[in-house]
Amino acid sequence: MMLKKNLDHFLNKSGISASKLAARISVPKTKVNNWTAGVAPRDLNQLKKLADFMQTTIDALVFTDLEVSNTSKNDSLNNPFAFEGDFRIRVERISKK
């Protein structure tokens, strides 16, 4: 599980303390301190608040090394599954032969 590493990296990079983060996401600071200590989260709602604040998904936050997987220029904790730019999707019916 990568939560501890990703959270530590985010706190160091953003310069925000664990207690300030807890206040901003409305989660008890003991929970955030536990997560930074490596304790697995038990409340998905709290984890969702953290992922939203960090602009990523729960899945990426917990199971992906965001430092390594992300190719974003601006913020290494953006959603690694996000795409930038314009896309064209073409849907065609393929007839059976």
Tens digit of pLDDT for each residue in 35-78? 999 999 999 999 999 999 998 899 989 998 877 765 444 454 55
- Which pLDDT does position 68 carry in this prediction? 72
- Which pLDDT does position 94 carry in this prediction? 81
Band (pLDDT 50/70/90 cuts) for residue 79 is: low
Parse the chain into domains and list their residue ranges: 1-97
Least confident range of 5-14, 28-37, 62-71:
62-71
Distances (CA, A) of 66 to 13, 43, 81, 84, 89: 13, 21, 11, 18, 28
1-97: CATH topology is 434 Repressor (Amino-terminal Domain) (1.10.260)
Q: What's the CA angle centered on 8, arms 11 and 44, to 5 degrees?
A: 95
Half-sphere exposure of 7 (CA within 13 A, CB side): 28
